[in-house]
């Protein structure tokens, strides 16, 4: 995932209506008409939000007759989650001297790293 893709996703998720849409779609595919009812926004407003979410790859869609149907792109969310996990670090306080340190552990077997339960291959 490129830094530009990450920036686009962050921008897309910076709007409360788009976060609500994402939450609704995590419960399954929805027709545009259902999203309109739940969000209580105009059709042009919904179209704008869906374009932003679609352009960054978080949401997939297809047309069935008059309506668009939307669903979460789980693969893109997984990539985003892995990127965020790769740039964050848990804080772990050493019991010996009270100092703070990163919880990244490097496996002696294969050189992969793990942080907060997420494994990264080198």
Give 59's strand partners: 72
- Strand segments, DSSP code E, in the chain are 30-31, 59-64, 67-72, 91-93, 100-102, 105-106, 113-115, 118-120
Is the full-model pTM beyond 0.75? no
- CB atoms near residue 90 (< 10 Å): 12
Tens of pLDDT along 33-90? 999 999 999 999 999 999 999 999 999 999 999 889 999 999 999 999 999 988 876 5
Domains, the chain, ordered by start? 3-77 (1.10.10.10), 88-120 (no CATH)
């Amino acid at each position: 995932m490129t830094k530009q893709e990450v920036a686009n996703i962050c921008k897309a998720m910076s709007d409360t209506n788009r976060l609500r849409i994402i939450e609704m779609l995590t419960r399954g595919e929805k027709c545009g008409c259902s999203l309109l009812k739940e969000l209580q926004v105009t059709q042009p407003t919904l179209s704008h939000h869906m374009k932003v979410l679609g352009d960054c790859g978080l949401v997939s869609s297809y047309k069935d007759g008059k309506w668009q149907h939307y669903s979460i792109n789980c693969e893109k969310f997984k990539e985003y989650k892995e990127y965020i996990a790769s740039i964050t670090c848990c804080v772990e306080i050493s019991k010996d001297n009270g100092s703070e340190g990163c919880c990244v552990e490097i496996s002696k077997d294969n050189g992969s790293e793990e942080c907060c339960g997420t494994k990264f291959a080198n």
